Structure 1
Amino acid sequence: MTETPPITVLLDDTAYAEAVQLAVDSAAAYYADGTSTLDDDAYDQLVRGITAYEEKHPESVLPSSPTGKVAGGAVVGDVPHTVPMLSLDNVFGPEQLADWAAGLERRLGRPVTAWSVEPKLDGLAISARYRHGRLAQLVTRGDGTAGEDVSHAIGTIVGLPDRLADAVTVELRGEVMMTASQFEQACAKREAHDGTTFANPRSAAAGTLRAQDRPYVCELTFFGYGVLPPPDDDSEFAVRLRGLPHSQVMGWVAAQGVQTTAATPVAGILAETLDQVQARVEEIAAARAELPFGIDGIVIKCDLAGDQAEAGFSSRAPRWAVAYKLPATEKITKLLRVEWNTGRTGIIAPRAVLEPVKLDGSVVTYATLHNVADITRRGLMLGDSVTVYKAGDVIPRVEAPVVHLRTGDEQPIPIPELCPQCGDAIDRSQERWRCVRGRNCQAIASIIYAVERDTLDIEGLAASRVKQMFDTGLIADFADLFFLTREQLLGLERMGETSTDNLLAAIEQAKTRPLSRVFAALGVRGTGRAMSRRIARHFATMDEVRAADAEAIQRVEGMGPEKAPLVVAELAELAPLIDKLVRAGVNMIEPGATPPSAEPVAPGQELPLASMSVVVTGTMTGPLAALSRNEVNELIERAGGKSSSSVSAKTALLVAGEKAGSKRAKAETLGVRVVSPEEFADQVSAFL
């Protein structure tokens, strides 16, 4: 976040005029229906370039320039705002934040001792007007001085009550947006209606807020960020409200039944120093990828009403508040081509090859496309401008084509007729297409996966050796490894007596792995290592797993109704392989686990981490130093807990090693118990 943000360099008045027009057109589209020729990051770069040019050439400044206007200035509304709805100036890192704060304090002539720090929500600003406690009118931001009446949306917005707790006349201001689940539901409704989907949550929210004649209704969400009494109201209530610190104003808003971010992991806080402000900025940035709604920055403002009044306003923004912008998680780039790959279970998956784009701090060249049905639903074409999303550790994914940027040169995406790996037929009976040869199409990849450290952990069995064994006919699947003889191995090229004996010992040791490892090695579709551990802990034995129907499988935590039947079908398909493993003497029991049919645990005999969600972060020390992260997760689940990768209000324990970083900060903010690796090892010592 300390990187100097790039700007668009403008060389002359012609380039400047073109840039201003592009910015005006993009803003008009963005605030009208959520579409734009530019993504947020590109728009910010353009405006910074316009600003830089105007500073050098003040005589060339055009009246239509976006630099002196409220964001969205091209949009015209017919409902005047009682008080202008201004936009915020931006900073892009700690140094710019410090410069802005120093300038503010110079203007005030004193230090600011109370800062409000809140998430900057990625939605549409609206004004909700209440008369005597009843919601009477909704108005969009528009050009900042007037907006559109969208009162028809009353009753469809979560978090914006029809009545306040008090019968007062006020104007609430906040953001309307779609959460991830609301966006998914909206896309499903639109697809059922006309076969298309929305490009992203913001454009979906913008279109939905203005729509009056759709045959379907999409739900929206509101988060309040401020409240104003009428300008001419001099009542005791209005005077008191105007004099409250912002933090207390937000407390009053929440008490009225209006949704704020207070109940979210990114709740607003009060900070006394700029260091505390920066620490909270980093905490909110770290939580961003896990939020069910979009944020694109953090708002920092003076908390005290007196500081705000004295700092005043510029022509387009308050001087007492600023937006600390975060790296973009969504950008527009070109879809160059689509690659088709066959995975180890035979699943045929498309991958988007993109024009490289910097996204959330890294350069993205490839992105997920899921399957053919997904490509068809989204209406993607080669050469499309597409929105690409990435946040934190999330794998980049193509969201949608930017249809209004099409030139007519786009081409349909070629769909394979045969398996791209082996050339055999494709089973198209499910949304996720599969080679008819299934695992046999990528048998070597399946075996390599099965013998890795986090599965059967057969030391010394490299991928090249697996391929050699497969090519010479010694093995057809990983179960065959357990039937290899010393003579067979000695017959392989570059296989001496010592290496043969070591490999045979490692294979023998692999027979003792817990059921969770064996199940993971099977590579059951719809499961991964974490789900394999849950299944093993739930059923305790392979016999119990194989006897379970879809309803029983669905009782495993995190197993949905769609995946459960697939797991049952997969186990039936894998029956010969499992039988072979049983004949080889491979362990089929999860140590410490109790089958569902067994007697309940007696009081006082519960596992030490029973029903606890545990997150591990940082570098492990002490007894845990020798374990991989997967092995630590296995340890957590043997002790009765649930391993998780993200800190939330449901987290019971955070194991924080060296360089724990943002997860520790978030845990401390949420009041989650934090322990060292050594303390945790003592707690679960019986399971190490």
Structure 2
Amino acid sequence: IDGLAVNLTYENGVLVRGATRGDGEVGEDVTANLRTIHTVPLQLKEPVPLLEVRGEVYMPKRAFAALNEAQEEAGGRPFANPRNAAAGSLRQLDPAVTANRRLGLFCYAVGEAAGVPATHHEVLAWLEKLGFTVTPGRRLFDTLEEAVAHCEAMAAGRFDLPYAIDGMVVKVDDLGQQQRLGYTAKSPRWAVAYKFPAVEAATRVLDIVVRVGRTGVLTPTAVLEPVELAGTTVSRATLHNEDYIREKDIRLGDLVRVHKAGEIIPEVVEVVPDRRDGTEREFVMPRVCPACGSPVSRAAGEVAVRCTSLACPARLREGLIHFVSRGAMDIRGLGPAVLNQLVTAGLVRDVSDLYALQREDLVALERLADKSADNLLAAVDRSRHNPLHRLLFALGIRYVGAGAARVLAGHFGSLDALMQASCEELTAVPEIGPKIAAGIKEFFASEQNRAVLAKLRERGVGTADERAARDLPLAGRVFVLTGGLTALSREEAGELIAAAGGKVSSSVGRGTDYVVVGEKPGSKLARAEKLVREGAGVQIIDETAFLALVGYRGAESCSRFGTRTGGEVPH
């Protein structure tokens, strides 16, 4: 697994410490951040007196791609690979940042422990029984030839895995034999690592084109002579930003080496300078937006070059895609193809125009039948009544993600109150720092943005006040969800909790108010039960009680858990 090695220590089945491997003797304490990873059990299924587990924290390929896209949109430097991204995410000062990075953990060995099974494959099965996720793709073989064949098969199929791997490790299974074989000065005698050869390809840069994102960031992309790489044909590769091109001295016409960062994103690794013939041309970042011709700017301390026009059609298209997305206003049926037609036809010049669309506008579009148009208009109409936090996130305010949008909506309660807030008032809100506050003030200072907001209000969007979090029935209450819910998804449950003023946490602790138990709960239930026995104020409730608590209609389904608590569920 291509990630960061960590050690986890459990006492009486409870996680007490987590650290990076470091130099083998000294590592960094990252316990708080490890607790946010969903595959790290906080309490084991058996109260093992002492257990040290070794594993690898990794970032899935999709999470890596999404993180780098967000980094570039925010004007930051992208991560080179999932390993660096996982390491940087685990070392964050704020565990909330780590929690949002969607890391995972695979365990592969045990250090200090009592009562350990006699073979390695039995150890891994034991770890699974305790609640750990162990390394996938493991096999037990009778011959070396079988092991070699498996390594070769994994090497060929590794690009289809949802996470990056950089090799295979072949171990002697018997732990007694491992002990007798011992170690050399550098490595164990009972294991050998087979590293996969680097997958790169040489090709030529035909052109460098620039795409404009929803925040106006100009991202250069290399157009390449098509080349086979990691099982796919690659004809484009990201160049990230102007500094990346300059540092690697990438020119039009260059022969370059390309690989897949995290085996998912084609990226130019280096130039082959001795193959230059003098016809190569240096790339110059546009000084005007390639989409609208407006001036571009680069803020001090940032690597991103941005279009300065809010009316830029490329920004508009990308911004609309974000505005209607599931996590934002959730307007089903308004995909990129339909939005592109609406922008091209001049029917949508900003997000407020979505709420002025008529049936005849839509049926005139290509491949949009009457029924589809009706469904789309109904979805647009439903979105008018979305809570304030969805609108704030949908607006694409710089640095304001979904989490910050919830916090802001809960604190200020209305768009007017947020617009009038000073930087001091904004930074006084928990989780809102100077950077986010500056992004908010910059957004609302724009006359163009204020005009769009005025039109949204005229069309019934953003008019209802959202009750301040402190006035809501579950203000400040912390919820932890474990197991599957039958009536709604985890995301929908989180929406209900937030709407009632509560907060969802990924781990159970003494600060937890409610643990909601669904079908096939995980180790969080055992941890909660232990805290209840110790007299902590944690309340364990089933799905029925939860749905009633948050005011969900139709909360009469039954469950096998009931409610176990030292206090009453508030009504």
The TM-score with structure 1 as length reference comes to: 0.45
Q: Work out the CA distance in 1 between the residues paired with 2:243 and 2:527.
A: 42
Question: Are 2:124 and 1:277 equivalent residues in the alignment?
Answer: yes
Deviations 1:273-295 (A, max 9, x none): 52442575973659xxxxxxx99
Q: Gapped runs of 5+ residues in structure 1? A: 2-39, 42-118, 129-156, 160-179, 181-197, 204-220, 222-263, 287-293, 595-599
The equivalent residue for 1:517 is: 390
Question: Are 2:181 and 1:348 equivalent residues in the alignment?
Answer: no
Residue 133 of structure 2: SS of its match in structure 1?
A: helix
Residue 565 of structure 1: SS of its match in structure 2?
A: helix
Aligned-pair RMSD on alpha carbons?
Answer: 5.9
**Quick one: which amino acid aligns to residue 313 of structure 2?**
C
Of 315, 322, 325, which aligns to 2:191?
A: 322
Deviation at 1:301, TM superposition (A): 8.6
Of 422, 434, 458, which aligns to 1:549?
A: 422
Question: Are 2:485 and 1:635 equivalent residues in the alignment?
Answer: no
Deviation at 1:123, TM superposition (A): 7.0
Contact 1:368 1:397 in 2 (8 A): yes
The equivalent residue for 1:234 is: none
Q: Work out the CA distance in 1 between the residues paired with 2:19 and 2:167.
A: 6
Of 418, 436, 456, which aligns to 1:581?
A: 456
Q: Work out the CA distance in 1 between the residues paired with 2:401 and 2:507.
A: 21
Deviation at 1:518, TM superposition (A): 1.4
Contact 1:615 1:651 in 2 (8 A): no
**Quick one: which amino acid aligns to residue 488 of structure 2?**
L
**Quick one: which amino acid aligns to residue 520 of structure 1?**
F
Deviation at 1:530, TM superposition (A): 3.6
Residue 686 of structure 1: SS of its match in structure 2?
A: coil
Residue 434 of structure 2: SS of its match in structure 1?
A: coil
Residue 562 of structure 1: SS of its match in structure 2?
A: helix
The equivalent residue for 2:286 is: 416
Contact 1:346 1:441 in 2 (8 A): no
Residue 570 of structure 1: SS of its match in structure 2?
A: helix
Q: Taking structure 1 as reference, are residues 448 and 681 closer, same or farther at Cα in structure 2, changes over 3 Å only? A: same
Deviation at 1:514, TM superposition (A): 0.7
Contact 1:120 1:299 in 2 (8 A): no
The TM-score with structure 2 as length reference comes to: 0.53
Residue 349 of structure 1: SS of its match in structure 2?
A: strand
Q: Gapped runs of 5+ residues in structure 2? A: 4-17, 30-58, 60-78, 85-90, 92-104, 137-164, 532-537, 554-571
Deviation at 1:541, TM superposition (A): 1.4
The equivalent residue for 2:551 is: 686
Q: Work out the CA distance in 2 between the residues paired with 1:576 and 1:649.
A: 46
Identity of aligned residues (%): 28
The equivalent residue for 2:380 is: 507
Deviation at 1:460, TM superposition (A): 4.7
Q: Work out the CA distance in 2 between the residues paired with 1:584 and 1:265.
A: 50
The equivalent residue for 1:624 is: 488
Q: Taking structure 1 as reference, are residues 407 and 479 closer, same or farther at Cα in structure 2, changes over 3 Å only? A: same
Contact 1:451 1:457 in 2 (8 A): yes
Deviations 1:620-679 (A, max 9, x none): 551115xxx6544433433545557x879999699898899xxx6899899999999947
Q: Taking structure 1 as reference, are residues 634 and 199 closer, same or farther at Cα in structure 2, changes over 3 Å only? A: closer
Q: Work out the CA distance in 2 between the residues paired with 1:582 and 1:676.
A: 40
Question: Are 2:477 and 1:610 equivalent residues in the alignment?
Answer: yes
The equivalent residue for 1:532 is: 405
| Bigger radius of gyration among the two | 1
Deviation at 1:576, TM superposition (A): 1.1
Q: Taking structure 1 as reference, are residues 616 and 529 closer, same or farther at Cα in structure 2, changes over 3 Å only? A: farther
Deviation at 1:586, TM superposition (A): 1.6
Of 299, 305, 330, which aligns to 1:457?
A: 330
Deviations 1:2-35 (A, max 9, x none): xxxxxxxxxxxxxxxxxxxxxxxxxxxxxxxxxx
Which residues in structure 2 correspond to 1:306-321 (within 5 Å)?
310-311=180-181, 318-319=188-189, 321=190
Residue 569 of structure 1: SS of its match in structure 2?
A: helix
Question: Aligned residue pairs: how many?
Answer: 414
Q: Work out the CA distance in 2 between the residues paired with 1:486 and 1:311.
A: 77
Residue 481 of structure 1: SS of its match in structure 2?
A: helix
Contact 1:350 1:371 in 2 (8 A): yes
Q: Work out the CA distance in 1 between the residues paired with 2:412 and 2:306.
A: 29
Contact 1:456 1:521 in 2 (8 A): yes
Which residues in structure 2 correspond to 1:24-43 (within 5 Å)?
none
